[in-house]
Amino acid sequence: MTPRDVIAAVREHQSLIDADNLRFESYHALFDLYRRNDRLDEAQGVAATLCFLEQATPQEEAFAAQFHAPGMEMARYRLSEDVLRRHVCHPDQDPYVSAVLGLIAPAVAVWRATELPPSLSRKARIDVTRDQLLISRMTEYVTDVLDVDRPELYLRAKEPGDLAMLNVKSDGRLYPSVVVFQNLLLCKTERQVAFALGRYLMDLYPPHFCFVALDRSVQAVKQVFKACLHRVGLPVEGDRRALDQIAHEVFSRMQPRARDQLCVVLTKMVARGRSIDVEQWVAAAELTACRVGLLLAGDLRDASTMISCEAAPLGVSAMLSPRDELDELVLYSISEDYFAARRALGLAVEGRQAA
């Protein structure tokens, strides 16, 4: 087969799997295509997914075991904005919504920031550059790979739960803060912690952090969107006085260049007839975060373990079930986007061998 024939065959089988994720003959066909064409990382990835699904042949089991690293594979490069957008973000995560939320995120964070809860003290925060606990070491690693600002870290080992992201202010400054609870602190393996932190710390990505700052409220995001559209002179429905107040809170805290960029993005979005589906964006953002977790953990079994035992974020009902999330991760784990992202992070089998 020519390289073009291989690409066409891969796309055909992936389309068949997208339509029926239990079409295991296409999984086997993908493994064979990748293996015969010396695409080792792709072949290992499909084989590992088949092992997770308990559908692997003896040959596929042996191949997966041959290239499965005994310890967690560490990324050699950071996750760039380009790779994130092209190969990690879920296709339902509307880039226009992401662009708007990213532009207003700094202003919204300042506007909506709160004081640290009385149960926490900044004196108790953990210095992840010195602390040797697994959670501290992995927080430093994950924030470095994601290229996001490192949050202040607090540990609550006796309280049930996983992790809470807080938009905190103190002495006129913002301090994004993470509180890690008992469930996550009990994790024993690097891969499990990497999945959880990769997923949760994607909340520090500006468009996602804007959602955090708005208390993860879909309605609040809709109102802010309407206020922004109203402020730049685009038609919207709603209480004009309320929208003016929201727009003032946001725009008064934005830099002139960011305001100009926001006007351009909103105008393009409306001109192209793009509707604003916040619920879809939020669900897709959850799946994007799960994808980041899988990239860093590199193991569907560990991802499944963490998804199945996670506690719901405090005061927030998840928009997707654990089964929804896992089904999407299975599809992502055999996608060209997944393998491209692994290469970009220096995680592919070929890259590890060369190193």
Confidence tier at 311 by pLDDT (50, 70, 90) = low
pLDDT tens, residue by residue, 27-43: 999 999 999 999 999 99
**Helices (H), ranges, the chain:** 3-19, 24-36, 40-52, 58-67, 81-83, 95-112, 134-146, 182-185, 190-200, 206-213, 218-231, 240-251, 256-271, 278-297, 300-309, 322-333, 336-345, 349-354
pLDDT of residue 123 exceeding 80, the answer is yes
Confidence of residue 248 (pLDDT cuts 50, 70, 90): very high
Q: List the chain domain ranges.
A: 3-68, 93-214+279-322
Q: With contact defined as beta carbons under 8 Å apart, do 131 and 152 qualify? A: no
What is the distance of C-alpha 187 from the center of its chain? 20
Contact between residue 22 and residue 327 where contact means Cβ atoms under 8 Å apart: no
Q: 101-119 pLDDT, tens per residue?
A: 999 999 999 999 999 999 9
Report pLDDT digits (tens) over 49-81: 999 999 999 999 999 999 888 889 999 999 999
pTM, to two decimals = 0.94
CA–CA separation, 65 and 60 (whole Å): 9
pLDDT at 289: 96
Asked if the model's pLDDT at residue 265 lies above 80, the reply is yes
pLDDT for residue 352 = 57
Reduced 3-state DSSP string for 185-243? HCCCCHHHHHHHHHHHHHHHCHHHHHHHHCCCCHHHHHHHHHHHHHHCCCCCCCCHHHH
Q: Other C-beta atoms within 10 Å of 319: how many?
A: 16
